Structure formats: structure tokens, C-alpha cells
Structure 1
Amino acid sequence: MALRSALQKQYMTLLSHWPADPLRPNLSFPDTLRRRVEQELGTPHPPESSPQTPTNTDAKEVGVGSKFDEGYEKRQLNALSSLLEDRYKKMYPITDRILMPKSQPDYYKKLLDELDVAPKRSWLEGQLNSWKGWIRLR
């Protein structure tokens, strides 16, 4: 039980530092993962001064009947922290040869510019851009 609460605390700490996605503000990765953690590890309860006996609802919330794999959860936490810290970006830096291919040297620069502009676009502008792309392909 203490292990589950410690893992849950680590998850919540990581998720509190997770950046918001400007392209999909209505789809939140931390919220989705928070629901998964609550389902797998149980809902967080504030510490109480008086111990009480667990009821059927408490056992259901904590997921006592579900299969709990400590190693799996630790690997998941390690993967999340790796992504949050950009561990692999630092370990395997991207060279200019990859960022500026000979066929289209400014492709990634245009892509990043588009990603900066896209969240600020209105719905109508987004639809017009998609139609422009569709017409251009025909």
C-alpha cells in the first residue's frame, strides 16, 4: 500500500511539471495519465489521524484485486521522466545534416514556424488552410 502511494506521488510530481500542448489544448496528456494512475494505483486519500478498516469501496478504489507490477510502474515512471528531462535529445543530438536535408533544407524551419502559428489561428483560418492544401494537391 505504501509503495502504491509513493509511486502515485512520483507520477503526480512528474505530471505537474508536464508542459501543456498548444496544438491540442482540449486534450491533456497529464489528465489522461492521471486518470490511468488513479485507476491502476487508486485514488489519493488524505492521511487520517484515526485508522479505519477498509471497506469494499476502498478495496475497489485502490485496485487490490487488480494485478500490480512494481517493475512495470517503475519503468513507466522512468520513461516519463526521460521524456520530461529530454534525456534522449541530450544523449543523441540532432545534426545539421538531419535538420537540413539536401532535398529541402528549410523544411524543418518552415515546420517549426507553422507549429508556432497554428495555435493562434481561428477555426475558419484552419479550415481555409486545409482547403488550400487539398486544392493544391488536386
Structure 2
Amino acid sequence: MSAARSVAAKHFQGALQRWPKDVLRPECQLQDVLAKRLAQGSIARVTAGATQEQADLKQANALQSLLEDRYKTKYRADPSIFAPKSKPTYYKDLVTELEEAPNRSFMGRMAKRLGGMIRLS
């Protein structure tokens, strides 16, 4: 393993340790998949005009930038986009639902499912 490749592997491992766990699908974690690919040495494929080391470093940098929310700070969105006129609380409701879903009981899941099937309007 070359020096640049080991640097990319260190960046990947550091980012994977900091990556948040997915509570909705605990059996399938991004960290596990990428760690397995890192162990196999197949994180990046050779692209036209780029070496394997350069491709690995680009992917490690992309993972780090996602962790640091670089794009959220670089490309600020207008706050009105998060409150659509048709349903202003849509995104707040979505976040609430995602936070509540992993802790919901079987009966709670069934009630939500039935509530989604039956609409009163």
C-alpha cells in the first residue's frame, strides 16, 4: 500500500468512526459497508486519467465534507423553501416522524399504517 493510499485509508477510517448510526435500519450501516470495502482495497475504481490513490483521496475528501456539512454552509437555502405554502409544517413533521419511528411499538406501527390507509377528508 503506497503512502497516499494509506493516508486515504486513515481518512476513511476516521470519517467512518464519526459517521452517525442509522437507527431506522440498524442491520445495514454505511460504516460497515465502507469498512468492508476498505479492507478489500476496493473503495475507488481507477478512473480515466486518475490513479487509484487520487481516486481514494477524492472519495475520502467527499466523505469528510459530508460529515462537516460543508455544502450546507456553502450553499445556503432560502428559509422559505422549508415551509411550503401547501403544508408549512411538512419538514418538521417529517423529522418528528423519523425520530419517533425507531421507538414505536408494534401496535403503534400498525396504528400508523391503518391511519395512513384510512383518510378522512
* 1:2 partner letter: S
User: Structure 1 stretch 21-30 or stretch 128-137: which is displaced more?
Assistant: 128-137
Distance 1:91 1:128 in 2: 41
- Once the two structures are TM-superposed, the CA of residue 39 in structure 1 deviates from its matched residue by 1.1
RMSD over equivalenced CA pairs, Å = 2.3
Which amino acid in the other structure matches residue 58 of structure 2? R
Cα distance in 1 for partners of 2:119, 2:27 equals 30
In structure 2, C-alpha distance between the alignment counterparts of 1:85 and 1:29, rounded to whole Å: 17
Map of 2:40 onto structure 1:
39
Shift of 1:72: 1.2
TM-score by length of 2: 0.80
1:129 equivalent in alignment to 2:112: yes
Please list every run of 5 or more consecutive structure 2 residues that lacks an aligned counterpart in the other structure: none
> Residue 94 of structure 2 aligns with which residue?
111
Which whole-Å deviations, capped at 9, do the CAs of 1:24-44 have from their partners, x for residues lacking one? 222111011000111126xxx
Q: What is the percent sequence identity of the aligned residues?
A: 42
Gaps of 5+ in 1: 42-65
Q: In the TM superposition, what whole-angstrom CA distance separates every residue of 1:8-67 from its partner, at most 9, and x where no partner exists?
A: 1221111111111122222111011000111126xxxxxxxxxxxxxxxxxxxxxxxx96
Aligned to 2:61: 78
AA partner of residue 130 (structure 1): R
Return the letter of the residue paired with 1:126: R
Q: Greater shift after overlay, 99-108 or 117-126?
A: 117-126
Shift of 1:134: 2.8
State how far apart, in whole Å, the 2-side matches of 1:127 and 1:8 are: 44
* TM superposition score normalised by structure 1: 0.71
Tell which structure's C-alpha radius of gyration is larger. Answer: 1
In the TM superposition, 1:16-31 aligns within 5 A as 16-31=17-32
Opposite residue 40 of structure 1, the aligned amino acid is G
Superposed displacement of residue 84, structure 1: 0.3
Measure how far apart 1:98 and its partner are: 0.4
Deviations 1:70-112 (A, max 9, x none): 1211111111001100110111123221000111111111111
